């Protein structure tokens, strides 16, 4: 299964990861704007909210692995404040926020290192271990290729099974948010949700 390493990846991406034996992360792709490489979505008091990691301006094509993070704005503090505002009342916020705090207290130079750090922390909180590989060059296609999940411009809404959300009495259920939403709401049961997700059905129904 081949994926792009993304910032606090989506629930669907983690479901595929949890249900796979070996994970391959793409590290030789060219960086593209408006993707989940440097953003994720959470459920805030005003609905769907974006957490965006600013990057240093680039000239010409660059590998994603060479993209550097811009710290001219304190986005780490902003993201942390957003998570506190959105999930402080969630059932498992206090159990996980200290582990997540480490991500926002160190300044990684490269975006890809930040994304791998978020992956490691989330997998640890989910109590999951997988064999992880990285690509050694770029291939246009793979047999089990889930790199399309990186595209934030894709209007496809993956219809996932509902679970309780902090603001679902005020707004509708928001599907396929960052894994953080599921983790804060379901805690240790989040792994069961991911394991039981019918991935072929979700993808086929959403893309047809």
Query: What are the DSSP calls for 15-84, one per residue?
Result: HHHHT-SEEEE--SPBP-SSBGGGEEEEEETTEEEEEE--B----S--BGGGPBBP-SS-HHHHHHHHHH
pTM to 2 decimals?
0.94
Q: pLDDT digits over 141-167, tens only?
A: 999 999 999 998 776 679 999 999 999
Q: pLDDT digits over 70-100, tens only?
A: 999 999 999 999 999 999 999 999 999 999 9
Q: What are the residue ranges spanned by the domains of the chain? A: 2-207
Whole-number pLDDT of residue 156: 67
Whole-number pLDDT of residue 102: 87
Q: pLDDT digits over 12-62, tens only?
A: 999 999 999 999 999 999 999 889 999 999 999 989 999 999 999 877 889
Q: How far is CA 22 from CA 6, 16, 50, 114, 203, in A?
A: 17, 11, 30, 21, 20
Mean pLDDT of 97-125: 95
Whole-number pLDDT of residue 9: 97
Q: Which residues contact 118 (CB under 8 A, 6 or more apart)?
A: 7, 8, 9, 103
Whole-number pLDDT of residue 205: 66
């Amino acid at each position: 299964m081949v994926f792009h390493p993304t910032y606090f990846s989506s629930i669907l991406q983690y479901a595929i990861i949890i249900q796979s034996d070996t994970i391959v992360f793409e590290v030789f792709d060219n960086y593209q704007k408006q993707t989940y490489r440097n953003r994720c979505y959470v459920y805030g008091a005003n609905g769907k909210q974006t957490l965006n990691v600013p990057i240093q301006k680039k000239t010409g094509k660059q590998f994603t692995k060479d993209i550097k993070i811009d710290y001219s704005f304190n986005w780490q503090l902003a993201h942390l404040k957003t998570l506190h505002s959105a999930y402080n009342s969630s059932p498992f916020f206090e159990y996980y926020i200290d582990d997540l705090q480490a991500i926002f207290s160190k300044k990684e130079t490269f975006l890809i290192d930040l994304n791998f750090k978020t992956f490691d922390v989330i997998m640890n909180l989910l109590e999951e271990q997988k064999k992880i590989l990285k690509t050694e060059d770029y291939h246009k296609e793979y047999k089990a290729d889930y790199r399309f999940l990186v595209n934030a411009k894709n209007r496809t809404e993956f219809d996932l099974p509902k679970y309780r959300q902090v603001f679902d009495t005020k707004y509708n259920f928001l599907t396929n948010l960052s894994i953080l939403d599921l983790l804060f709401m379901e805690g240790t049961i989040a792994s069961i949700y991911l394991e039981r997700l019918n991935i072929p059905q979700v993808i086929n129904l959403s893309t047809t």
